[in-house]
Amino acid sequence: MTFRENANISTGRARRGGGGGGMAVGGGLGALLLALVVMLLGGDPGAILGGGGGQAPSQGQYEDLDECKTGADANENVDCRIQATMLSLEDYWTQVLPDAQPTTATIFTGAVNTGCGQASSQVGPFYCPVDEGIYLDSAFFDQLEGQLGAKGGNFGEMYVLAHEYGHHIQNYTGALKASQQGGTGPESNAVRVELQADCFAGAWAGNAAKTKDSEGGALLEKLTREDIESALSAASSVGDDSIQEKMTGQVQPHKWTHGSSEQRMGWFMKGYETGDPRQCDVLRANSVEDYN
Ligand SMILES: [Zn+2]
């Protein structure tokens, strides 16, 4: 997906920082804190620490992305792309669900303090409902294309952000709370909430070309076939079966928290093809396979 060269992206909701320096990796983890964090991947629980008692970082730790001004910047630079994607997501979701407050993406390196405690980059991109923030390590996209085997492309990265924004929307619809009821497994609420976030990402993708910058101009060009393939490849690479296979060499459905590669792609496409988040009712679907 390509941003319109002259689109104004200078007011996007992304920033660098929130550094959690000095943290020790592998420390204790409060169950409450873990339960409150929703991740893109299965995640490494040891990567989120209870230290800090859930205090949000102080303001001075952030740095605005002053270099990001136009769509051309977003097409060139990954941080600017994050800022511009957040603008598009906000424009879309404010129309669909006006009650949802805007959220901010914090790009960090190594570790970060959040309202849900400290987290290291090992946890992957995540959403913290306590401070309503999206957090992602700047190196994650390299991991997505390297270790996790996604084929690459900008739109796969944008899917990741759109998935996390989906969790923010779930925080307002009440769906996020359901993820903590009923443990793990292929039909669990945990999986259903993740698949709904994928479907929400697809619904945004189906409408993204219509989203506007602060001057009323289009933010994005139309999606291409390559864009969709990039998103599907990213969604597939973060499926529980795919990750388990790569990390442990075996697939164990009873431990699933996010759904299979097929299911993640299926729900993304359902959102994309209908362009309607109301079609994303995974929580009440008879089966998590009901995306056709
Ligand atoms: Zn997620």
Longest CA pairwise span in the chain (Å): 51
How large a percentage of the chain has pLDDT more than 90? 61
Question: Which pLDDT band holds residue 279 (cuts at 50, 70, 90)?
Answer: very high
- Whole-number pLDDT of residue 100: 93
Question: Which pLDDT band holds residue 58 (cuts at 50, 70, 90)?
Answer: low
Measured in angstroms, how far is the CA atom of residue 216 from the centroid of ligand 1? 31
- Whole-number pLDDT of residue 122: 80
With both helix axes pointing from N to C terminus, report the angle between 154-173 and 225-237 in degrees, rounded to the nearest 10.
Answer: 70
What's the predicted TM-score (pTM) here? 0.89
Q: What is the spatial distance between Cα 176 and Cα 72, in angstroms, rounded to a whole number?
A: 35
| Residue at 69: amino acid letter | K
| Domain layout of the chain by residue ranges | 14-284
Measured in angstroms, how far is the CA atom of residue 5 from the centroid of ligand 1? 31
Measured in angstroms, how far is the CA atom of residue 198 from the centroid of ligand 1? 8
| Residue at 98: amino acid letter | P
Measured in angstroms, how far is the CA atom of residue 166 from the centroid of ligand 1? 8
Q: What is the spatial distance between Cα 251 and Cα 228, in angstroms, rounded to a whole number?
A: 26
The chain-wide mean pLDDT, for the chain, equals 86
Residue 176 Cα to chain centre, angstroms? 14
The answer to whether the beta carbons of residues 250 and 244 sit under 8 Å apart is yes
- Whole-number pLDDT of residue 277: 97
pLDDT digit string, tens, across residues 145-167:
888 889 988 999 999 999 999 99
Q: Which position has the higher pLDDT, 8 or 54?
A: 8
Neighbours of ion ligand 1 (CB under 5 A): 38, 40, 194, 197
Say if residue 22's pLDDT is above 80: no
Measured in angstroms, how far is the CA atom of residue 215 from the centroid of ligand 1? 32
Measured in angstroms, how far is the CA atom of residue 126 from the centroid of ligand 1? 7
- Whole-number pLDDT of residue 85: 97
Say if residue 32's pLDDT is above 60: no
Q: Which position has the higher pLDDT, 275 or 250?
A: 275
Say if residue 21's pLDDT is above 50: no
Measured in angstroms, how far is the CA atom of residue 230 from the centroid of ligand 1? 18
Q: What is the spatial distance between Cα 210 and Cα 222, in angstroms, rounded to a whole number?
A: 9
- Whole-number pLDDT of residue 59: 53
pLDDT digit string, tens, across residues 180-223:
788 889 999 999 999 999 999 999 999 999 999 999 999 999 99
Measured in angstroms, how far is the CA atom of residue 40 from the centroid of ligand 1? 4
Measured in angstroms, how far is the CA atom of residue 167 from the centroid of ligand 1? 7
Measured in angstroms, how far is the CA atom of residue 161 from the centroid of ligand 1? 10
Measured in angstroms, how far is the CA atom of residue 197 from the centroid of ligand 1? 6
Say if residue 76's pLDDT is above 90: yes
Range name among 73-82, 116-125, 159-168, 170-179 with the lowest pLDDT average: 116-125
Identify the burial level of 178 via C-beta atoms within 10 angstroms of its C-beta, where 0-12 means exposed, 13-18 middle and 19 or more buried.
middle
